[in-house]
Amino acid sequence: MSKASLILNDWDIDQRIKRIAYQILEENFEEKELFIIGIKDQGFVFANYLSEAIRRISSIKIHLHELTMDKSDPLSEEIKINIESQKLKDKVVIFADDVASTGRTVYYALQGIKDSAPKKVQVSVLVDRKHKLYPICSDFVGLSLTTTIHEHITAKLKGKTKSVYLN
């Protein structure tokens, strides 16, 4: 088994989240509110950090919500978001996840808002691996990293110190 290599430390992650926050505001400067939907577990933790970063630099209203799904088998259970779908009508929705690889998770996450008719849907990820199998692109990326298909990215965003490893 190969040793895990640290690719982002706590400070790196904080800086990338700040940069993404500014990019989101620049891209959505005319909006009065944004709906950030974190994808279960680490994606929701990332979404929370991102929401806090935006709130520190702007007065735009941020709505933070969590999407729950089985990432390994998205069709095995209902995809749920803790918001009524009509509240997303004509709003900007930003999906947030820790690591994007094939685009599969976001592809299925979109099913959770298919009846909502949002104004715009964007995707923000801390690390984008660029192994796309689905027609999903990340609009806001902390780190774009080319890896082999056998390598794995692990984000540890909970707890005192945040980190991202390649193993």
Per-residue pLDDT band at 54 (split at 50, 70, 90)? very high
Over residues 20-46, the mean pLDDT reads 98
Per-residue pLDDT band at 14 (split at 50, 70, 90)? very high
- Please tell me the predicted confidence (pLDDT) of residue 65: 98
Q: Would you list the domain boundaries of the chain?
A: 5-24+31-166
5-24+31-166 maps to which CATH number?
A: 3.40.50.2020
Token look-up 């692990």 returns 154
Per-residue pLDDT band at 3 (split at 50, 70, 90)? confident
Per-residue pLDDT band at 2 (split at 50, 70, 90)? low
Give the tens place of pLDDT for each residue, 72-81: 888 888 999 9
Distance from chain centroid for Cα 98: 6
Give the tens place of pLDDT for each residue, 120-153: 999 999 999 988 888 899 999 999 998 888 899 9
CA distance 143 to 125: 8
Percent of the chain with pLDDT over 70: 99
pLDDT at 96 over 70: yes
CA distance 37 to 76: 21
Token look-up 């923000």 returns 124
CA distance 161 to 25: 26
